């Protein structure tokens, strides 16, 4: 893993968490709990957390609400990234994304492959940007959330990560809107 430059300041970011599930309640949301715990432990702020059904309109409404709120820097969802008929998180994300970050899904699946082998091809994890807000969709298992956070998002959302990170790009994400 690339080094952390301790001479630089840590900048916390504001993160919204969305659990996509037709069956989970807040009490049963282990993936959302895992994400929230890791995000807070690493010095960031959880500014919104919700559960919604695996429906494009519900997911899109949450995403649009977050990207319209300047206080939300990043949205991380868990669930709905599989290939069954009810798994529509990627379709909802693609409906609002301005730019997809292809490397996020590729890197997530590479990391996942090392743990679960070819079963990782069932994941349609993806990332991107909309209206200056980063959006990331992770699978619904606590292990996938751990891998996505610990091995990809935590380093990229640490302003001290070298040689580069997503935080340092945040001021420039809305250049096309100016």
Looking up residue 95, the CATH number of its domain turns out to be 3.40.980.10
Identify which of 48, 46, 44 has the alpha carbon closest to the alpha carbon of residue 11. 44
Is the residue at 107 inside a domain? yes
Read off the pLDDT of residues 91-149 as tens digits, 9 standing for 90 and up.
999 999 999 999 999 999 999 999 999 999 999 999 999 999 999 999 999 999 999 99
Asked which of 23-27, 64-68, 137-141 is least confident by mean pLDDT, the reply is 23-27
Domain count, the chain: 1
Domain that holds residue 148: 14-159
Is the residue at 173 inside a domain? no
Q: Which residue has the tokens 């693609």?
A: 94
Reading phi first (left if > 0) and then psi (alpha if -120 to 50, else beta), residue 79 is in left
Share of the chain above pLDDT 70, in %: 98
Is the residue at 3 inside a domain? no
Is the residue at 34 inside a domain? yes
Tokens of 40: 């807070």
Is the residue at 1 inside a domain? no
Which residues are within 8 A (CB) of 104 and not within 5 positions of it... i.e. 6 or more apart?
Answer: 125, 126, 127, 128, 136, 152
How far apart (Å, rounded) are the C-alpha atoms in residues 12 and 45?
7
Confidence of residue 68 (pLDDT cuts 50, 70, 90): very high
- Axis crossing angle, helix 56-67 with helix 89-96, rounded to the nearest 10: 40
Is the residue at 166 inside a domain? no
pTM of the model: 0.95
Is the residue at 7 inside a domain? no
How far apart (Å, rounded) are the C-alpha atoms in residues 173 and 127?
14
């Amino acid at each position: 893993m690339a080094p952390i430059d301790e001479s630089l300041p840590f900048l916390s970011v504001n993160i919204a968490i969305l659990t996509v599930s037709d069956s989970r309640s807040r009490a049963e949301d282990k993936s959302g709990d895992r994400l929230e715990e890791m995000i807070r432990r690493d010095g960031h702020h959880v500014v919104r957390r919700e559960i919604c059904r695996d429906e494009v309109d519900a997911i899109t409404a949450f995403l649009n609400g977050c990207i319209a709120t300047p206080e939300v820097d990043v949205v991380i969802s868990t669930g709905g990234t599989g290939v069954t008929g009810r798994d529509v998180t990627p379709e909802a994300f693609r409906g609002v994304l301005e730019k997809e970050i292809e490397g996020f899904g590729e890197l997530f699946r590479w990391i996942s492959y090392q743990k679960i082998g070819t079963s990782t091809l069932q994941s349609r994890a993806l990332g991107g940007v909309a209206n200056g807000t980063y959006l990331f969709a992770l699978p619904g298992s606590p292990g996938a959330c751990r891998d996505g956070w610990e091995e990809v998002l935590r380093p990229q959302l640490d302003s001290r990560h070298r040689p580069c990170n997503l935080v340092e790009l945040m001021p420039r994400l809305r250049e096309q809107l100016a």
